[in-house]
Amino acid sequence: MSDVAIAAKDLTRTFGSFTAVDHISFEVRTGEVFGFLGANGAGKTTAMRMLIGLLAPSGGTARVAGHDVYTESEAIKRSIGYMSQRFSLYEDLTPRENIRLYGGIYGLTRQQIRERTERMLARLGLAGVADEQVHSLPLGWRQKLAFSVALVHEPRIVFLDEPTSGVDPITRRQFWELIYEAASAGTTVLVTTHYMDEAEYCDRISIMVAGRIGAIGTPADLKKQFGVDSIDELFVRLARPTADRIPSPDPDGRIPNPESRIPSEKARLAEGSGEGGPS
């Protein structure tokens, strides 16, 4: 099995004259937790939809689980799990019914569905509400159930689109524990988020700005490279409007001369206020 689970080269998507994803290139290794970070509208979800075969690219190439996104989208869908930004379970069904439904869609046998249903309900602590309609459950429980259902067929890769949006900090932490559990079992995880603190939970991250990858690497390496204390500070720096577009990273994930293009906070303030105070 290849060590590369996802590989994209100059992947691009346009809608008329608007470029939503602009020539992005990256690789995700097998078993890695890879974070796609960026503000709402940065292009994260569009990129993910191309990778999972729901949206045709306008240019570039990509392979997911060894399959080409242009010609093997059905094979990709069989190899992955997916949790959408919008809640992806049937709310008028019970947790037990949802698990059985998706297990059947993914082609599991009745015995596999029965065993995995009971195991999943016990692990999530949902055995006591297994026969209540999903819409009656707290949001955090529903999100964790949706993630587990995306893994019911034991896919090689799972794509999570803003999975912790709207949940409380404790539930977010519990959700990430489920992600770690999946990764430790060998599942590759690609997760999009606009919560910058979640970057610290990932093995590597990319930060998307206006459809392009502004930085890519481990959280520790990126903070050291840009001389910042947090990923949030790095994101603000990258997203700050400048006269030039953000240059593409080199193969090692470094932006050429980043400090020459992105002024320090001290320099920016000096430019805006002269030697006195704010003008």
Domain extents in the chain: 4-85+157-273
For 4-85+157-273, the fitting CATH number among 3.40.50.2300, 3.20.20.70, 3.40.50.150, 3.40.50.300 is 3.40.50.300
Residue type, 224: K
Report the pLDDT averaged over residues 185-196. 91
Residue type, 17: S
Report the pLDDT averaged over residues 127-143. 92
Q: Which of 11-15, 40-44, 119-123 has the lowest mean pLDDT?
A: 40-44
- Could you give the CA distance from residue 237 to residue 155 in angstroms, rounded to a whole number? 37
Report the pLDDT averaged over residues 62-83. 94
Alpha helices in the chain (DSSP H): 44-51, 73-79, 95-105, 110-124, 139-150, 169-184, 219-226, 231-239, 258-261, 265-273
Q: Is the pLDDT of residue 244 over 60?
A: no
Confidence category of residue 130, pLDDT binned at 50, 70, 90: very high
Centroid of chain to Cα 233? 20
Strand 204-209 relative to strand 59-64, pairing: unpaired
Confidence category of residue 241, pLDDT binned at 50, 70, 90: low
